[in-house]
Structure 1
């Protein structure tokens, strides 16, 4: 158990040697992605309307 503690204590400084984090640069959406996002949004709204009508009937 003492050896395990010693190994853990010796390994503690190594994460400090890691490279700094570089934030990723977001890419612009393509026209195809915007089309499918709009389609999915309209489909979600339509599904919510259908569910609201079904719930209102009962």
Structure 2
């Protein structure tokens, strides 16, 4: 019984039964998403400049 289980487990996990990997296709970004990304990037840069100025004073 053990050998039957071992053979069954080997056959089930064999690469023959495995599906090939399909790479996901990137989706295009909308103009709204690009606007919010640009706005958040500018906010991050402003925050970093403010922190740098605060740390430089001390």
Measured against the shorter chain, the TM-score band is 0.7 to 0.9
Structure 2 CA distance for partners of 1:51 and 1:9, relative to 1, 3 Å: farther
Q: Report the Cα distance in structure 1 between the residues aligned to 2:36 and 2:9, rounded to whole angstroms.
A: 48
TM-score (norm: length of structure 2): 0.75
For each residue in 1:2-47, what CA deviation from the matched residue of structure 2 results, as whole angstroms up to 9, or x when unmatched? Answer: x5xx856742443421210111111111001101100110010000
Give structure 1 stretches of 5+ with no counterpart: none
Q: In the alignment, which residue of structure 2 is the partner of 1:34? A: 34
- Cα-Cα RMSD: 2.0
Aligned length: 54
Q: In the alignment, which residue of structure 2 is the partner of 1:49? A: 49
